[in-house]
Structure 1
Amino acid sequence: MSATDVIPPIPPNIDAIAGPLLIGHLLNWCLFGALTVQVCMYYLSFPHDRPFSKYFVMTVYLWEAAQTFMLTDSAFDAFARGYGNLNHLDKIGTIWFTVPIMSGVVAFAGQSFYAYRIHILSQSKIIAALILLLATVQLAGSIACGTQSKKAKRHSQFLGRDAYITTGIWTGGSAVCDLIIAICMTFSLSRRSTGMRRTSVLLKRIILLTIETGTVTAVIAILTFILSILPGRPNYYLAPVGILGKLYANSIMAVFNGRIKTGDDTIHHSSTGDHASGSMVRPPRPGQNAYEMGVGVSVTKEQVSFPPTSGWVKGEDNVDGKFRGI
């Protein structure tokens, strides 16, 4: 009988060992449910978005679905097949790939998405290049972290000096990138006010959404690193690290769905070829002869565009002459 076949006794602090891992799996499933709802809302609300946007959304969703199903298998192995066996609970298994590497990839996709939008809004290649550089750094850190955890094979043997460095590069680079994105997006959007009430309200909504999503992802990334360097090397970091990927995926969908208008207004889309206007149009009420145009913000092409106050024609250049209505 090998040493790995010997079942160690259950320690008194079993809740601190198994609890974070279980909470991480439960939160991952919760956020996957939220992501599923957001994806359904997107396809129902914006059927005429560009094919690239639809493919991007579906790719992110399938990637996260694969992560959830693989993590579920890991949870089943730890809490069902290996019930009562701490060797199964301590085994990393496929988590080396499903958590750091898969989360790093979806974070890179989301941060690159924001880099493109910031480039369009600010017309600054330097800021976009900086964001892409930080996104690449955190992706490299996540791959290195996954490689180290695969070699360790067990959670108890993973944390150490090298793991602290790679985890810091991964989570620290991600947090810095998210904060820069939130600041740049807020500054760029705040400069695009047209003086119209509906535009201002929608801009404030998008700015608030950007700050919230960027702050949440940055805080969770920093929290993961802090919990990983606690004295005694507890497993507390397993709870937040399991949801990083889902947070980024939900942040991406929140940006796409930020165009949804609630209340009495109805979103209609007029298309030219593969393009959709993305503007908000209120249907004519009885006795009216013309449509009442709502001032919307289109991010179908990861750009923010504003229809002119009058005489707007689909596909025509919008009010600032720089961005074309999509």
Structure 2
Amino acid sequence: MQVSEGGKVALIAHGPSLIGIFMNMLLFGIMIMQTSVYFSTYKKDPTWLKIYVAVLFVADLLNSVFNMVWIYDALINNFGNLEALATANWWFQTEEAMAGIIAMLVQFFYAWRILVLTRNYWWVSAILVTSVVSGLSAIGTAIGVGIVKKFIEFQKLEIVAILWLVGTAVCDVLITSALSLHLRKHRTGFSSTDSVLNKIIRITVSNGLLTSALAIADVTAFLASPTGIHIAFNYALVKMYTNSVMSSLNSRQTMVANEVSMGSTINKDGTRVHEISNFVTTNRSLRPQVVVNVETHEMIDVDNPSKVDVEWNDTKRHSPNNSVNAQ
């Protein structure tokens, strides 16, 4: 079966875009659920964090609206219009720009968490630099799309696109490495504490690997094929960022429950474990807990040994902590 010229254009750009937008909308549904869970569960979070989540949600919403408007305009309003199908418009440009902006918002949040947790300014500086470079490169890619316009000529944007996608992958790897190495270094040897640390590490690694893997797949497809197959990865990448940070925020309820169940867990050097609360929580700090056991003593007549034995035996027989009676 022969494919028309318009069909070839649609196969190059709009087929992968449609698949990517399907994934984008699916992940946006998960984002809606995660945002709802956050606002209903963490009502005592600081105002700035609630505003941050609201901004992420609005950005995600706008991204989905722009994507739907673009694909509808291209495939319905301009059905059969070869010139329109072969040319990108500003609706399409918003995808690259918002991908960079949303990625920076998420990576800045993780950089703040790493700063609070580790106080390591080298890690934070590296994360911020790579995040800004990749974010500005994404915006530059959007500007380049407006200049080139033709889908078939997007290979001209190779340098700025590589900076964007490789930069965001490197930034995600840095975030994952910084958190994982710090948490592994602060293992305590206590199973309850290490269990919580392992869960935090797994969440961190899985979120970081998903976003970095999609970014690498995006740039690989872009360089390996002149078709628009890389666009499918790009649409999913935006929502993976917002869902990763919401997953991290919403996992705090389970982490805090596990932390409370640990009681006053201490390190081998006698210090209280603070790393878990610093990573999991955002507006509270745990103070060292001190448990005092008070023993009571009763004065008895020691001049009469037989009386001492009788009273001691009587006390032991009626004591609620008597192991014999407890059995």
CA distance in 2, matches of 1:34, 1:164: 32
Answer yes or no: is the 8 Å Cα contact 1:186–1:210 preserved in 2.
yes
> What does residue 175 of structure 1 align with?
169
> What does residue 224 of structure 2 align with?
230
Give runs of aligned pairs for residues 158-237 of structure 1, distance below 5 A. Answer: 158-160=154-156, 163-231=157-225, 233-237=226-230
> What does residue 243 of structure 1 align with?
236
Please state which structure has a larger fraction of its residues in helix: 2
> What does residue 150 of structure 2 align with?
154
Specify which of 94, 101, 104 is matched with residue 97 of structure 2: 101
> What does residue 112 of structure 1 align with?
108
Answer yes or no: is the 8 Å Cα contact 2:252–2:281 preserved in 1.
no
| Structure 1 position 13, deviation (Å) | 7.9
Partner letter of residue 186 of structure 2?
R
1:33 and 2:26 correspond: no
Q: Which runs of no fewer than 5 residues in structure 1 stay unpaired?
A: 1-7, 268-278, 283-294, 312-326
TM-score, normalized by length of structure 1? 0.76
| Structure 1 position 90, deviation (Å) | 2.8
Answer yes or no: is the 8 Å Cα contact 1:24–1:243 preserved in 2.
yes
CA distance in 1, matches of 2:31, 2:207: 14
Answer yes or no: is the 8 Å Cα contact 1:134–1:173 preserved in 2.
yes
CA distance in 1, matches of 2:248, 2:23: 21
Question: In the TM superposition, what whole-angstrom CA distance separates every residue of 1:138-189 from its partner, at most 9, and x where no partner exists?
Answer: 01211111110011223223222xx110000000111111101111110112
| Structure 1 position 309, deviation (Å) | 5.4
> What does residue 288 of structure 1 align with?
none
Q: Which runs of no fewer than 5 residues in structure 2 stay unpaired?
A: 263-274, 292-327
CA distance in 2, matches of 1:106, 1:302: 21
Percent identity, aligned pairs only?
Answer: 25
TM-score, normalized by length of structure 2? 0.76
Answer yes or no: is the 8 Å Cα contact 1:77–1:88 preserved in 2.
no
CA distance in 2, matches of 1:29, 1:280: 37
> What does residue 305 of structure 2 align with?
none
Answer yes or no: is the 8 Å Cα contact 1:16–1:236 preserved in 2.
yes
1:141 and 2:141 correspond: no
CA distance in 2, matches of 1:304, 1:185: 20
Distance 1:185 1:142, change over 3 A: same
CA distance in 1, matches of 2:199, 2:27: 22
> What does residue 73 of structure 1 align with?
69
Larger radius of gyration: 2
Aligned length: 276
> What does residue 295 of structure 2 align with?
none
CA distance in 1, matches of 2:142, 2:39: 33
CA distance in 1, matches of 2:283, 2:113: 6
Farther-moved stretch of structure 1 (173-182 vs 13-22): 13-22
Partner letter of residue 229 of structure 1?
L
Query: Superposition RMSD on alpha carbons, in Å?
Result: 2.7
CA distance in 1, matches of 2:174, 2:113: 13
CA distance in 1, matches of 2:13, 2:43: 46
Partner letter of residue 239 of structure 1?
A
Specify which of 38, 45, 67 is matched with residue 42 of structure 1: 38
